Amino acid sequence: MKKVAVIGYGGQGAWHCDQIIKSDVVSLAGIYDIKENRREAAREKDIFVYSSNEEIFADKSVDIIVVATPNDVHEALVVSGLKSGHNVICEKPVALSVEEFDRMVEAQNESGKLLSVHQNRRWDVDYLGVKSVIESGEIDEVIRIESRIHGSRGIPSDWRCEKAPGGGMILDWGVHLIDQMLKLIPEKICTVSCYTTHITNTEVDDGFRLELGFVSGKTALVEVGTYNFIAMPRFYMQCKNGSLYLSDWKTKPQIAKLTRWIEKDVTPVQNAAGITKTMAPRDNLTLDIYENEIPKSDVHEFYRNFCLAIDGKCEQYIKNCEVRRVLCVMESAFCSAETLTTLKTDI
Ligand code: NAD
């Protein structure tokens, strides 16, 4: 079992500790947090509390350091962790800019240790359900994917509502949804257009709509809202031979698969104040409608993969070049939102 020490024992640091305690590949060495009340919370759970971050960096029995602090202190802690001879897992978003991340990767290359970013939402079953439909080819090639998350409580009133520590929804949720989208459509991005919302917060974005254009003509929408009292579906996908609809985190993907394009004698339907043939629903002679099972997923795979990668037995599942690409998209999204323009990109 590899020993892990966690820096930052807030919401996510505590989540890591719970996962590590349940894990079959890692064990918990202890934590450190700058706040006494958080150190006390750890002691109450019988977790060992280091006296400082420096004590963690000096502990050679530790194999992996997890950085779970607000985003603006990631770089300093990650670089110190690597320089002290440890493998490091950093929470998302790993950095506030591509430049910052490049410095972390440079420190990793010099250290000979591994750096990984906790993009845990690669194990979300909603995303995996869409991925499996694309990979099976059951409704043919993707035309467009829409990925949305809608909440209704604004931004949490902690550091997430301030700019300096790296708050806002592009950095908080965008990083997950963009990461997923780049796995679903593995192509170069040639256009980025982003619009941010500021309904409950003027300092940072409390939501955004990001349009991505890919070289083959595929398009994607990534949208996060925090002022939506009725939520739009989690995923909607148009493919060349059908459509997918997935309403929520843990619902089954619904598929409408085209069995025949040409229909005989489409009867116009009366809808609202008129009639239409174009928008008349299809019958079950030309559409096969079904649900797929929810895929199996185990979030512990993240630590299993990282431990095997440390031992040189496999590649890191979350690659730093992928993480960097997501940061490039986020930088373009901020730039597009600020200038109210669509950017031509080569990402
Ligand atoms: P939080 O405010 O609940 O906890 C952060 C903790 O870090 C605080 O207790 C704070 O005292 C401590 N801290 C700050 N600076 C420190 C330092 N220099 N040394 C030691 N401790 C320090 O925030 P959170 O929600 O736990 O978020 C932490 C990180 O985890 C962020 O990067 C966030 O984006 C990420 N996160 C990831 C997920 C996910 O699903 N992957 C979910 C939530 C949060």
Task: List the domains of the chain with CATH numbers.
Answer: 2-118 (3.40.50.720), 122-253+292-298+328-344 (3.30.360.10)
Q: Ligand 1 centre and the CA of 69: distance in Å? A: 3
One-letter amino acid for residue 163 of the chain = K
Give residue-wise pLDDT tens across range 129-147.
999 999 999 999 999 999 9
pLDDT over threshold 90, residue 312: yes
Rounded Cα–Cα distance for residues 43 and 52 (Å)? 15
CA dist 269 and 153 (Å) reads 40
Q: Give distance in angstroms: CA of 73 to centre of ligand 1.
A: 10
Ligand 1 contact, 34 CB (< 6 A): yes
- Cα separation, 300 vs 317, in Å, equals 13
Taking the CA of residue 74 as reference, the ligand 1 atom at the shortest distance is: 32
pLDDT digits (tens, 9 = 90+) for 273-282: 999 999 999 9
pTM of the model: 0.97
pLDDT at 263 (0 to 100): 84
What confidence tier does 265 reach under pLDDT thresholds 50, 70, 90? confident
Residue having the nearest C-alpha atom to atom 17 of ligand 1: 34
Cα-to-centroid distance, 203 and ligand 1 (Å): 20
Sheet holding 87-91, edge to edge: 26-32, 2-7, 64-67, 87-91, 115-118
- What pLDDT, on a 0 to 100 scale, did the predictor assign at position 286? 93
Ligand 1 pocket member 73 (CB < 6 A): yes
Q: Closest Cα partner for 124 from 264, 273, 251?
A: 251
Cα-based angle 202, 146, 94 (whole degrees, multiple of 5): 55
pLDDT reported for residue 264: 80
Q: For ligand 1, say whether the CB of 33 is within 6 Å of any of its atoms.
A: yes
Question: Which atom of ligand 1 sits closest to the CA of residue 90?
Answer: 32
Distance 8 CA to ligand 1 centre (A): 6
**Ligand 1 neighbourhood includes 38 CB (under 6 angstroms):** yes
Q: What Rg do the C-alpha atoms of the chain give, in angstroms? A: 23
Label residue 196 by pLDDT band (50, 70, 90): very high
Average pLDDT in the 257-270 region?
90
What confidence tens digit (pLDDT) does each residue in 2-23 have?
A: 999 999 999 999 999 999 999 9
pLDDT band at 157 (very low <50, low <70, confident <90, very high): confident
